[in-house]
Structure 1
Amino acid sequence: MKDHQDGAHGGHQFLGKNTELYFAVLCGVFLLVAFLIEMFSQLSFALALTGYSIAYFFGAYFIVIEASKKIIKGGFDIDFLMIAAAAGAAYIGSWAEGALLLFLFSLGHALEHYAMNKAKKSIEALGNLSPKTALVKKGDQLEDVAIEALQLKDIIVVKPNTKIAADGVIVSGSSTVNQAPITGESMPVDKTYLQDTKDLPSFIDIDKKHVVFAGTINGDHSIEVLVLKLTKDSTVSRLVKMVSEVETQKSPTQRLTKKFEKWYVPLVILLVVLLCFAYLVVDETFSESLYRAITVLVAASPCALAISTPSAVLSGVARAAQDGVLIKGGRALEDLGEITTIAFDKTGTLTEGKPKLTNILPLGNFDEVELARLVLEVENLSNHPLAKAIASDLKTKYKIDSQNKATNVNAIQGKGITATYENHKVSIGNATLMESSEITISEKTRLEMNALLKNGHTAMLVAYKQEIVGLVSVMDLPRKTAVDTLKRLKAIGIKRMIMLTGDHQNVGDAIAKQIGLTEAKGNLLPEDKVDAIKTLIKRDKKIAMVGDGVNDAPAMALSTVSIAMGAAGSDVALETADVALMSDKIENLPFVISLSRESKRIIKQNIAISLGVVGLLVPVTILGLTNIGVAVAFHEGSTIVVVLNALRLLRYKSI
């Protein structure tokens, strides 16, 4: 198929990238017009013949190009057989049958190639992650340099809210970095500078709070980064390499088709040639032998076989699209039905993808509303993503707004925030912040905080007048539909559902327990996810991977079927994926798997019908027990049956 695709798009794009499809449609139009003229008008047959000839041109154009390329290399495939069958039909005056063969075959090919160049697009989307230039510090000057020209040990300046241009270690400044494009972590991560950079360990061994990756997004503060990896070795470049390597691997279906063509086509050609000389051993004329040979050629042309899979695929894809699911091709549609293990990314796939306020617990003299107001006044003045999430949710939940009573706000990197509220100090942050401010944390409070942390929450203590007065926690919450979706997946035979996440193992375990996953694997970088997928494939043979971010791309590309969350997904995840849930509804997953199973069943039926008819017609026509009219009637009848059977998928009901 790939070779034919290349031929269709290699310098013959008269009408744009869908030229092959337009040619197939034009073939059908001229075939219909010519047939109507021949059957229902008194016009000259020459006019109908002109219509058939034009139909032949449009139907055979790309098939002839491809067949000629193969013949030059000494190969004969189904393309050649279809051209020979159409030419033979024309030779004995069966123009309509020949044009119909070409129309159905060219339409099948065109539809198969409609969505193409997936690998190329996915690599381009990955490449766009990194900025094109970086600000390099040279003495007191800043110089704009192309990222390809960056050298090891260069120091680059990353301004607030811009993409980081290289993998490296922070040597000046502190900031919050959104690492979701690379690690998939739901929460932005606090980063700070490394004081001693003289004897650095290997990149992977440097404390993660000092390390940044190319393609991640800096927060509100400027930082300086010592470049430790050249652009070609950066994390993003590795992702590009992983995707390109996996995408170039041929599917088993492609290899099987090639094997079939290798023996079937030469066998039919040999049989037809031998039948041309049947008059030497049978009491008939050369004309009768030629007629028999051409009848066999038409009967043996695998037209129904050629259209059986594309028609079912097209119907399945169209039905999925009605429910907001994009399926890219037949392999994904077939393979998805055999899946019993699904790996999920966490952030944006099983969860909402953004932090939400989960708890506000008064521990001192404050009641809940008073504590909420205190926290709001302080967090409302911070630009930290968690502070913004807390402030927004407090306003919504408690119907309150800031009265600007807090002053002297000071963000302390990696610890939290301090401020003055009604002439007294307020501290909101982790235990380290409290201890550094000599605020006592009771054992009960520690237990409550640890319980929240263990269950996947990001928890913060609130202190006022040097006393702990409350606990606040946020979490990236599971999607409301996640529990029901996983139950339905289990009901249709999905045995194992595994979460792969860049978040802490505690977070993964907590989410897994809440929504009913089989297991969770945390603290995973992109290459770790790839290793996890390889392990799952060894155990379960075929697996699906559901993801939404760039960090999922290599693992998705390696999986048997990759499924991207649409609205929440990155461009690269969508381009790499075989299936995209366009409306961002994970609840569509059970439906599309069931549809895939039904599609596969219909494809098997279609192949059985088409091969059965060919298997019946070939011996009957060889023995001369039927004429070309009956052969074409059965031949095209099987094609119609196959197409109608495939169209049943359009009425498939969602489970």
Structure 2
Amino acid sequence: MAQQIKECRVEGITCPDCAARFEDELLRALFSAGFLLLAFLAKTKGLTFIYIPCFIFAMIVGGFGNFKKAYHSIKRLDFNMNVLMSVAVIGAVAIGELEEGAVVSLLYSISEMLESWTMESARRSLQKLIDMAPKIARVKKPWGEVEVPVDEINTGDIIVVRPGEKVAMDGVIIKGESAINESTITGESIPVEKGPGDEVYAGTINIHGSLEVKVTKLVQDTTLAKIIHLVEEAQAKRAPVQAFVDRFAAVYTPIVLGLAGIITLFPPLLFGFEWQPWIYRGLTLLVVSCPCALVISTPISIVSAISNAARHGVLIKGGVYLEEVGELKVVAFDKTGTLTRGEPVVTDVIPVGADSEKEVLYKAASVEKMSEHPVARAVVEAAQNHGINVTSAESFTALAGKGAMGSVKGEVILIGSVKLFEEKGVDTSGIIQDLKRLQEEGKTTILVGTETDILGIIAVADEIRDSSKKAVTLLKSEGIEKTIILTGDNKATARAISRRSGVDDYFAELLPQDKVNVLEKLIKEYGKVAMVGDGINDAPALAAATVGIAMGGTGTDVALETADIVLMNDDLTKVVFTIRLGKNTKRIIRQNIALSLFFKIAAVLATFPGWLTLWLAIVADMGATLLVTLNGMRLLKNRA
């Protein structure tokens, strides 16, 4: 069965034949059990002409899948566990142990069936993602609304999404407002309010209000489709420990075959012992030595963990990254768009003259309303949040590199830097201390005034995410030795953000290549270092780190392609969840390997004195396999 899992992983973890395989294996197990029961009943009555054929049928039906795989393996000179089992069953028939051969075949078919069921359980979480995207969408046509299969919809088409329905395609809202449940993409269950101009994603749910959405991506290119594809690829990639287990099994199997041959031949040939008991022990050794549990121990854990992460809005692109993230010593953060929201907000309004705080904000916003600069938008938004009715200034003029000016209620108002006012001959000596204090706090300052006086100071800063401080605290509790900010911003801002977020250290005024150099030094000093960035301008740093983690992957193709791990929302605590999941995965894999080897060694040792029968050997192997499989599936329940 472990070989089947291996083959399935090569084909792709969501192989459509998996459910059919489980049904086939269940039927084989049932038929084999039926023939075996009939054989035992006939044997009690002494009906030789019935029980002998029934034992043989039980062997053929129960072991058919195994015999088929063994045949193909022998042609490739690949002496794997299927070959071991087939030799054991054929050998049992050769020495007249039909009952033993039939029981071994039945138990092996049950083992295959149970493993298929448990692997299928691990895949169901991904299948739920696949099922979340509607197969049909309501497309708006000149003559009315028409239901069309999603694979026939083109970019530019307008789809209609009614209240309670799922969005069928990625697109932009052109009409209507509603709250959208994006938990399928971001892992967050709180709906997001959206309106015209906002993006929506396939598989998300429209809570209320009818929407018209202009399609921007074909069905195979939607964010949900990319998530599914990435998870499939991730589950097919082998982690280092898994590659080791596969290599071990490839060497181990021929050794077992050789050892079974020695046990079978040497005692009768060298010491004159009877042949049958030693042939039986050799066959038992073949059965008990099958490394099914060992081979299945790692893939089931990796598949379960990656499926669980995807369900919580975290894309892990392979088992190798799952292992690496569990060994991290340092986490480095980009500042803008990662620790901070990437959008400036007004933090302070300080009146200097006779005007009140609201009056300063009103005059500044009236001038800035005509500007598209991010800081200007922050000032206007702050005024609106204070309930100020902002009117556009007259005679607006942008002063390149300095600020702007305009007429507000007949008064010429200037907005800009200290340099602008100094050029106008305005005395700024009285506000130097306030400016210095605000700049030390990492804030950008703009002055509001006339051509003769300063009316006030407005401070703007990039706001820290709500999750930043909590995430940094949790990282330290998870054993992260050091947290660092890598930013192209100035030292004062970096220092302020570092202090407010609880990050240990910072490197400021860095170009992209400088971030790479810092990461290389950190890796030499600490070993395993993660870089958390926005996935666009941090691509070199994400690639240079041991593990690159991209923030805000929703709809960001570059983030999905560049990083090793993608957080599908802006919650930094998901980094902590991912590290915890990586540690738990490594621990469970070690447990599984230890359990597999323990059961195997104990069973092998019991073979030599003849304590272990063929059917007890397969029970032991099946029990160990089922135990490690269920243990690995615990990772499906790892909580965020």
TM-score normalised by length of structure 1: 0.67
Deviation at 1:345, TM superposition (A): 1.7
Can you list the C-alpha shifts for 1:420-479, whole angstroms capped at 9, x where unaligned?
A: 33334322112232233x232422323322332232222111122432211122211111
Contact 2:338 2:532 in 1 (8 A): yes
Q: How far apart are the structure 1 equivalents of 2:256 and 2:391? A: 86
- The equivalent position to 1:35 in structure 2, one of 14, 29, 34, is 29
- The equivalent position to 1:638 in structure 2, one of 613, 624, 627, is 624
Q: 1:300 to 1:421 in 2, by over 3 A?
A: same
Can you list the C-alpha shifts for 1:312-342, whole angstroms capped at 9, x where unaligned?
A: 3334344445544344443333333332321
The aligned amino acid for 1:496 is K
The aligned amino acid for 1:39 is A
Contact 1:24 1:103 in 2 (8 A): no
The SS at the match of 1:551 is: coil
- Aligned ranges for residues 6-45 of structure 1 at < 5 Å? 17-18=12-13, 21-40=15-34
Q: 1:101 to 1:274 in 2, by over 3 A?
A: farther
Q: 1:300 to 1:469 in 2, by over 3 A?
A: same
Q: How far apart are the structure 1 equivalents of 2:326 and 2:349? A: 45
Q: RMSD over aligned Cα, in angstroms? A: 3.8
Partner of 2:351: 362
The SS at the match of 2:538 is: helix
Deviation at 1:498, TM superposition (A): 0.7
Can you list the C-alpha shifts for 1:198-230, whole angstroms capped at 9, x where unaligned?
A: xxxxxxxxxxxxxxxxxxxxxxxxxxxxxxxxx
Deviation at 1:612, TM superposition (A): 0.8
Deviation at 1:546, TM superposition (A): 1.9
Partner of 2:379: 390
- The equivalent position to 1:413 in structure 2, one of 396, 400, 405, is 400
Deviation at 1:277, TM superposition (A): 3.2
The aligned amino acid for 2:84 is A
| Count of aligned residue pairs for this structure pair | 500
Q: How far apart are the structure 2 equivalents of 1:28 and 1:86? A: 20
Deviation at 1:106, TM superposition (A): 8.1
Q: How far apart are the structure 2 equivalents of 1:109 and 1:642? A: 12
Matched, 1:550 2:536: yes
- Judge which range, 31-40 or 82-91, deviates more: 82-91
Deviation at 1:567, TM superposition (A): 4.5
Can you list the C-alpha shifts for 1:280-322, whole angstroms capped at 9, x where unaligned?
A: 3465676665544343222222111112222333343444455
Deviation at 1:273, TM superposition (A): 4.1
Q: How far apart are the structure 2 equivalents of 1:68 and 1:498? A: 56
The SS at the match of 1:513 is: helix
Q: How far apart are the structure 2 equivalents of 1:97 and 1:494? A: 46
Deviation at 1:539, TM superposition (A): 0.9
Deviation at 1:592, TM superposition (A): 3.5
Deviation at 1:514, TM superposition (A): 0.8
Q: 1:38 to 1:107 in 2, by over 3 A?
A: closer
Can you list the C-alpha shifts for 1:27-74, whole angstroms capped at 9, x where unaligned?
A: 3322211212232578996886776466448x949x958x977x5xxx
Contact 1:33 1:51 in 2 (8 A): no
Partner of 1:510: 496
Matched, 1:81 2:70: no
Q: Equivalent pairs: percent with the same residue? A: 33
Contact 1:308 1:607 in 2 (8 A): yes
Can you list the C-alpha shifts for 1:9-34, whole angstroms capped at 9, x where unaligned?
A: 98xx6xxx556x44444333222112
- The equivalent position to 1:293 in structure 2, one of 271, 279, 282, is 282
The SS at the match of 1:403 is: coil
Deviation at 1:634, TM superposition (A): 0.8
Contact 1:115 1:329 in 2 (8 A): no
Partner of 1:564: 550
Contact 1:299 1:618 in 2 (8 A): yes
- The equivalent position to 1:488 in structure 2, one of 474, 480, 505, is 474
The aligned amino acid for 2:370 is L
Deviation at 1:629, TM superposition (A): 0.6
Contact 2:354 2:455 in 1 (8 A): yes
- The equivalent position to 2:295 in structure 1, one of 306, 323, 338, is 306
Q: How far apart are the structure 1 equivalents of 2:108 and 2:88? A: 5
Q: How far apart are the structure 1 equivalents of 2:347 and 2:61? A: 71
Q: 1:424 to 1:413 in 2, by over 3 A?
A: same
Matched, 1:627 2:616: no
Q: How far apart are the structure 1 equivalents of 2:565 and 2:124? A: 15
Q: 1:54 to 1:615 in 2, by over 3 A?
A: closer
- The equivalent position to 2:327 in structure 1, one of 334, 338, 356, is 338
The SS at the match of 2:550 is: strand
The aligned amino acid for 2:105 is W
Deviation at 1:540, TM superposition (A): 0.9
The SS at the match of 1:546 is: strand
The aligned amino acid for 2:81 is M
Q: 1:320 to 1:276 in 2, by over 3 A?
A: same
Partner of 1:426: 413
TM-score normalised by length of structure 2: 0.68
Q: 1:102 to 1:640 in 2, by over 3 A?
A: closer
The aligned amino acid for 2:417 is N
Structure 2: runs of 5+ lacking an equivalent = 39-52, 93-100, 127-236
- Aligned ranges for residues 178-577 of structure 1 at < 5 Å? 253=241, 256-257=244-245, 260-261=248-249, 263-278=251-266, 279-281=268-270, 283=272, 290-321=279-310, 323-396=312-385, 398-404=386-392, 406-436=393-423, 438-567=424-553, 570-577=556-563
Matched, 1:96 2:84: no
The aligned amino acid for 1:385 is P
Q: 1:258 to 1:541 in 2, by over 3 A?
A: farther
Q: How far apart are the structure 1 equivalents of 2:72 and 2:112? A: 11
Q: How far apart are the structure 1 equivalents of 2:25 and 2:428? A: 86
Q: How far apart are the structure 2 equivalents of 1:486 and 1:315? A: 27
Structure 1: runs of 5+ lacking an equivalent = 117-248
Q: How far apart are the structure 1 equivalents of 2:294 and 2:471? A: 36
